[in-house]
Chains A and B, each alone.
Chain A
Amino acid sequence: DVKVTQSSRYLVKRTGEKVFLECVQDMDHENMFWYRQDPGLGLRLIYFSYDVKMKEKGDIPEGYSVSREKKERFSLILESASTNQTSMYLCASSGSVSNQPQHFGDGTRLSIL
């Protein structure tokens, strides 16, 4: 079974801090994704990556950056955390063929105080 592991289930940080959310997958997937989920808004794509060192902006990239130095790891970075970034963050991965399903991690519930 595909395993997508997010480093933390719950995280509390302060406004202005630099925050790192880590995601690791064990299936040699090319594609990796970061989403945030907010009540009433559904899953929104922040960034995705289709290869090492490659990244593409999603629908809401402002205030975030990403890093993919190794194929199995995709990091989401909040450069200077703000309270409106309090949310549930989900990482996902998928193979290179576009009609393959995405496999999700358990999510990180991030609170910015």
Chain B
Amino acid sequence: ILNVEQSPQSLHVQEGDSTNFTCSFPSSNFYALHWYRWETAKSPEALFVMTLNGDEKKKGRISATLNTKEGYSYLYIKGSQPEDSATYLCAFLNQAGTALIFGKGTTLSVSS
């Protein structure tokens, strides 16, 4: 059974704080790792698709790194803003699969 773990499950930060969360996935037969942001009352939105070990991607104040050999990815948010409040999902695709396996998400709450 392929398992994708995200930690922490939730966290609460103050506006301006930087934060990061972890996604752990099976390190064998890796194909791709996706990150999505899901705001309340909206649809999940793709942030990054990462395929290469050592990949680092950035979108504004959000960045992500990937280590396929040890099976983890970090998502970083620099200078958190209230509009960053959302659930952040990672999803793993292995070489044999056609469907993503999602983690349960990290729910971020940013207070002003």
A residues with a Cβ closer than 8 A to B are 4, 31, 33, 35, 40-45, 48, 50, 56, 58, 90, 92, 98-107
Contacts and interface: CB of A to CB of B under 8 A. Distances in A.
Contact of A40 (B89, B98, B100, B104): B104
Contacts of A48: 98-99
B42 A106 contact: yes
A31 B98 CA distance: 9
Contacts of B91: 43
A105 B43 CA distance: 6
Interface string B18-44: 000000000000011010100000111
Interface in B71-107: 89, 91, 93, 98-100, 102-105
A102 to B, nearest CB: 7
A98 to B, nearest CB: 6
B99 A33 contact: yes
Given A31-B98, A99-B31, A104 B44 contact: yes
Contact of A42 (B42, B49, B103): B103
Contacts of B49: 99-101
Contact of B102 (A4, A43, A99): A43
B63 interface: no
A41 B93 contact: no
B46 interface: yes
A48 B101 CA distance: 13
Contacts of B51: 99
B99 A99 contact: no
Contacts of A35: 102
Contacts of A41: 104
A44 B51 CA distance: 22
Contact of A98 (B93, B102, B103): B93
Given A45-B99, A100-B49, 5 more contacts: A44-B102, A48-B99, A56-B98, A58-B99, A101-B34
B43 A106 contact: yes
A102 B5 CA distance: 20
A111 B104 CA distance: 22
